[in-house]
Amino acid sequence: MAGRKRAKRSSVKKTDILIIGAGLTGLSCAFKLEKKRADYLLAEKENWAGGLARSFRKDGFTFDYSGHLLHLRWPETSKFILDSLGKNAKPLKRKARIYSSGKFTAYPFQMNLKGLPAKVRSECVEGFLKARRAFPEVKAENFRDWCLQTFGKGISKHFFFPYNAKLWNYPLEKLSTDWMGQFVPVPKTEEVLYGAYKDDVKGAGYNHDFYYPETGGINALPAAIASGVERLSLDSELISLNAANKTARLRNLGNVRYKKLLSTIPLKYLAEKVEKAPETVRKNAELLEHNQVYILNLGVRKCPLPQHWIYFPEKEFVFYRAGVYTNFSPSSAPRGFSSLYVETASKSGEFIDLKKAEGRIVKNLVSIGAVKDEDDILTSMWLKVPCAYVIYNEARKKALPELLSWFEKRGISSAGRYGAWKYSFMEESVKEGFETAEKLLKR
Ligand SMILES: Cc1cc2nc3c(=O)[nH]c(=O)nc-3n(C[C@H](O)[C@H](O)[C@H](O)COP(=O)(O)OP(=O)(O)OC[C@H]3O[C@@H](n4cnc5c(N)ncnc54)[C@H](O)[C@@H]3O)c2cc1C
């Protein structure tokens, strides 16, 4: 587990740069500042560092907050991540599937219709060709219309609508389209036809190659970065922020005066911590929405599925995605056993009866042959991500720039997946951590 230093009461009262949150964004920023010998303090609420890139050990199994796979794209951060992991970095080629209409098909769905029942495949191909022939006068402004314009009725009905409804828990006609660029591959007509009648279209999408630590789960990455960060204070939750006096009140540390601040905690909740926040700040924060994700990790006797992960668009499956850790890291289970994860999403704050959900999940897993029966399950662990996917809607478009600019004017940068309130990934967090360090040193 990364970083294990505990805060000493009142040990630090002043710092040039205060960083809130020791996930990958905060750790990467601190790492850069350490190298530049800057005066900084990294304060983390939990008694571990790593944020969502943390791993847990239970009964000989290693679990993450579901599959946390390193899809690398930029030279500087790729090199940094791979150097940090050293020999522990294992390169892998995606083995992902979609399970629908009783069949496993290759990812992405829209390019690999071949394995579907003939009727479903025709519906998808005909809908796609019809959508391509239509030249809509108005460009789609919401996700639902965009799916229909881009993929047609069949592909939307069999994959994009049900899958995204399950993931976002938000009306698709109110979801904007500015999050999908890199996450939703748009095929050419010849690719759809090839994938429907000839063979799988290989290598499409952003995630065809990835890395994962050979041992230690994804926590190996934050642990490696944290080893180069001296001033990390655990158990030091930000309680409140006096933006006018540049003073933060932290659990176990008391008041800390700073010159500049980087916050990596969810922007919505940072705004709530501001003392005497103006109404515009409070109102804008209220406009930001997100879902919640519950992950069920399972240690099982043996999972025969060969995939790394599988998407489940259909309603009868409680989860939207499931994966097999041991297929990308055999060391995450005792020899001969397997470890799995299952991801379920719901509305923020919605009560989920985990016992009931677990029963349904196990039935679903048995139905696709992932486990033989209930007795195959040796251990389980639920993990909750209360703020998991931020909702891209019209309100976000207005509220986000206003909030970020209010904080910036007061020497506060807000970065990372939740600090910048966006759909992003681990490498981007490292990149933003580095960039923010440079920015804070210049100002
Ligand atoms: C279900 C799921 C699956 C994902 N899969 C992948 C994947 O396969 N590949 C990939 O690249 N990315 C994936 N991601 C995204 C990845 O987890 C994030 O991009 C990255 O870990 C975010 O790092 P961060 O530092 O910005 O935020 P976080 O990891 O959220 O770190 C923020 C830190 O702030 C701390 N904190 C919160 N409140 C306070 C407070 N008041 N005071 C002090 N500290 C506080 C938290 O404890 C945490 O340590 C996934 C995300 C989710 C939700």
Query: What are the tokens at 69?
Result: 């796979």
Domain count, the chain: 2
User: How many residues in the chain?
Assistant: 443
Identify whether residues 183 and 226 lie together within a single domain. no
Rounded distance from Cα 54 to ligand 1 centre (Å): 9
Let me know if residue 303 belongs to a domain: no
In a domain, 315, yes or no: no
pLDDT digits (tens, 9 = 90+) for 80-133: 999 999 999 999 999 999 999 999 999 999 999 999 999 999 999 999 999 999
Range of the domain at 36: 14-54+219-288+393-442
Residues 192, 117 within the same domain: yes
Q: Are 344 and 317 in contact (CB under 8 A)?
A: no
Of all protein residues, the one whose alpha carbon is nearest to atom 26 of ligand 1 is 416
Query: Which amino acid is residue 392, in one-letter code?
Result: Y
Burial of 351 (0-12, 13-18, 19+ CB in 10 A): exposed
Nearest by Cα to 382 from 262, 294, 290: 294
Are 224 and 184 in the same domain? no
In a domain, 126, yes or no: yes
Same domain, residue pair 130 and 243:
no
pLDDT of residue 206: 65
How far apart CA 153 and CA 231 sit, in angstroms, is 54
For tokens 């990294």, the residue is: 42
Residue 107 sits in the same domain as residue 185: yes
Q: Is 184 helix (H, G, I), strand (E, B) or coil?
A: coil
Look at residue 256 and tell me if it is in a domain.
yes
Query: Which residues does ligand 1 sit against, CB inside 6 Å?
Result: 20-26, 43-46, 51-53, 65-69, 71, 237-238, 264-265, 293, 343, 385, 388, 416-418, 424-426, 429
State which of 68, 221, 272 you would mutate to test the pocket of ligand 1, scoring each by most atoms of that ligand within 8 A of its C-beta: 68
* 18 Cα: distance to centroid of ligand 1 (angstroms): 18
- Pocket probe mutation, ligand 1, options 252, 417, 432, max atoms within 8 Å of Cβ: 417
Distance 23 CA to ligand 1 centre (A): 6
Question: Residue 334 half-sphere exposure, CB side, CA atoms within 13 Å?
Answer: 8
Task: Examine the domain organization and report whether 282 and 404 are in the same domain.
Answer: yes
Spatial neighbors of 385 by CB under 8 A, at least 6 apart, are: 52, 65, 292, 293, 294, 295
**Residue 320: helix, strand or coil by DSSP?**
coil
CATH number for the domain spanning 43: value is: 3.50.50.60
Residue of 99, 114, 107, 98 whose CA lies nearest to 185:
107
Query: 341: pLDDT confidence band, cut at 50, 70 and 90?
Result: very high
d(CA 440, CA 81): 22
Q: Pick the residue whose CA is nearest to atom 34 on ligand 1.
A: 21
Q: Based on the domain organization, do 419 and 272 belong to the same domain?
A: yes
Q: What is the pLDDT of residue 5?
A: 54
Let me know if residue 151 belongs to a domain: yes
Q: Is residue 69 part of a domain?
A: no
As a whole-number percent, the residues of the chain with pLDDT over 70 amount to 97
pLDDT tens per residue, range 347-361? 999 999 999 999 999
pLDDT at 1: 45
CB distance 44 to 226 below 8 Å: no
Candidate from 205-214, 268-277, 293-302, 426-435 with smallest mean pLDDT: 205-214
